[in-house]
């Protein structure tokens, strides 16, 4: 079986799905590996580094897809890429399936088995395959770095002959992987950090990385959903949350929002009215901007300014740390792939909880329990 790694075509995407260190493990398992020429350039990996580990290099995408039995990517393929794939091939990548039903239709029509890495179940055996956590950690780190660059203040407290500089106040909303990494990074830079999450169970984790846990007078018994993610709440809940959060946000120099609900648009947590109470020069890093944002007025991929507050809506934080992002992604995806290789043969075992959880499209049908109903409801 030939595993192919194409160059990412999404604008600004610098990651590569496989690094040379992972090639050798696939080759040892009996797989052939083909890399598109220049696929690793964004992560500063030369073609020769892949060849040294036993991979071959394809001159272009057309040649690569024509030979590929298994395709591993970072981002979802565009329609042109799907058109180049062999019928019956397998595709493994981040699919963004809830919002890419058109892609599910294309894959089914081509008879391609499509695995979405974001659907890998959060179980102990799959921890080394958890791409979402790997990339979220990078996003949390980069969020603080971007905030420090844009904020017209120091982060740490400084005592100088010219006077004492007070430390920056940072408020992190959402204490998942990205939020916890943001807290730890801001704390290392010397900020005073507070954090809030609808799930009180994360209080100990928040405090362990150096932040004060903020609690509001809100119901929390139904805050956690499947897989440990925060659960979507009612409009009334969000209205009460915003009312209590307003004063806290107004006192901050930097706010980092991470609230995302799988398969849904991000809840709006910071309104225009709340922005107007913040000090000019303050910064909001909205890590949910790709799905509408937690901040009213956030624009995906851009920095906008409202009431003197910069709202950062970048969606490519892992790509901005492409070397380590590629390293982690490569480990995750190669481990996922090798889980389906037994005695030098690739096989899709639907009895395997990990395989079944991530398999979206198979044998010409959309089969995933969460995606199939969406397809049917939209007549796709």
State the catalytic residues: 122, 127, 130, 133, 229
Q: Which residue has the tokens 């892992």?
A: 318
Do 114 and 107 contact (CB within 8 A), yes or no?
yes
CA 116, 128, 315, 288 dihedral sign is positive
Do 222 and 245 contact (CB within 8 A), yes or no?
no
Phi, psi of 23 (to 5 degrees): -60, -45
Of the candidates 329, 364, 346, which has an alpha carbon nearest to the alpha carbon of residue 130? 329
- Give the number of other CB atoms < 10 A from CB of residue 330: 25
Q: Which residue has the tokens 């043969």?
A: 345
For 104, how many CA atoms within 13 A lie in the half-sphere containing its CB?
Answer: 26
Helix (H) or strand (E) holding 373: helix 371-377
Q: What span, in angstroms and rounded, lies between the C-alpha atoms of 138 and 164?
A: 32
Do 346 and 90 contact (CB within 8 A), yes or no?
yes
Q: 3-state DSSP helix/strand/coil percent for the chain, to nearest 5?
A: 40, 20, 40
Q: Which residue has the tokens 């565009």?
A: 78
Crossing angle of helices 20-28 and 322-338, in 10° steps, is 10
Q: What span, in angstroms and rounded, lies between the C-alpha atoms of 117 and 100?
A: 14
Q: What span, in angstroms and rounded, lies between the C-alpha atoms of 21 and 27?
A: 11
């Amino acid at each position: 079986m030939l595993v192919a790694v194409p160059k990412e075509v999404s604008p600004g995407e610098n990651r590569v799905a496989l690094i040379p260190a992972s090639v050798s493990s696939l080759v040892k398992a009996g797989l052939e590996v083909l890399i598109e020429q220049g696929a690793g350039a964004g992560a500063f990996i030369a073609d020769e580094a892949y060849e040294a580990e036993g991979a071959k290099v394809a001159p272009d995408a057309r040649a690569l897809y024509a030979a590929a039995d298994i395709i591993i990517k970072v981002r979802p393929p565009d329609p042109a890429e799907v058109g180049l794939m062999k019928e019956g091939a397998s595709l493994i990548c981040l699919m963004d399936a809830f919002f890419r039903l058109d892609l599910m239709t294309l894959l089914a029509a081509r008879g391609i088995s499509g695995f979405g890495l974001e659907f890998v179940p959060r179980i102990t055996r799959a921890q080394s395959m958890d791409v979402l956590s790997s990339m979220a950690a990078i996003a949390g780190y980069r969020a603080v770095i971007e905030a420090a660059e844009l904020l017209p203040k120091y982060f740490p407290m400084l005592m100088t002959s010219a006077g004492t500089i007070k430390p920056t106040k940072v408020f992190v909303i959402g204490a998942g992987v990205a939020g916890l990494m943001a807290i730890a990074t801001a704390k290392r830079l010397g900020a005073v950090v507070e954090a809030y999450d609808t799930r009180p169970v994360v209080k100990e984790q928040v405090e362990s990385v150096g932040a004060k846990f903020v609690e509001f007078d809100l119901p929390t018994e139904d805050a956690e959903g499947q897989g440990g993610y925060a659960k979507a709440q009612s409009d009334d809940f969000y209205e009460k949350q915003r009312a209590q959060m307003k004063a806290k946000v107004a006192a901050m120099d930097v706010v980092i929002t991470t609230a995302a609900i799988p398969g849904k648009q991000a809840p709006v947590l910071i309104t225009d009215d709340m922005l107007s109470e913040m000090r000019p020069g303050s910064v909001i890093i909205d890590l949910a901007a790709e799905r509408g944002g937690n901040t009213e007025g956030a624009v995906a991929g851009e920095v906008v300014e409202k009431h003197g507050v910069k709202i950062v809506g970048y969606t490519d934080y892992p790509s901005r740390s492409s070397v380590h992002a590629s390293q982690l992604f490569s480990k995750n995806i190669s481990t996922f792939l090798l889980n389906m290789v037994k005695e030098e043969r690739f096989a899709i075992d639907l009895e395997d909880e990990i395989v079944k959880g991530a398999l979206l499209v198979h044998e010409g049908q959309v089969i995933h329990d969460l995606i199939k109903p969406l397809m049917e409801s939209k007549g796709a």
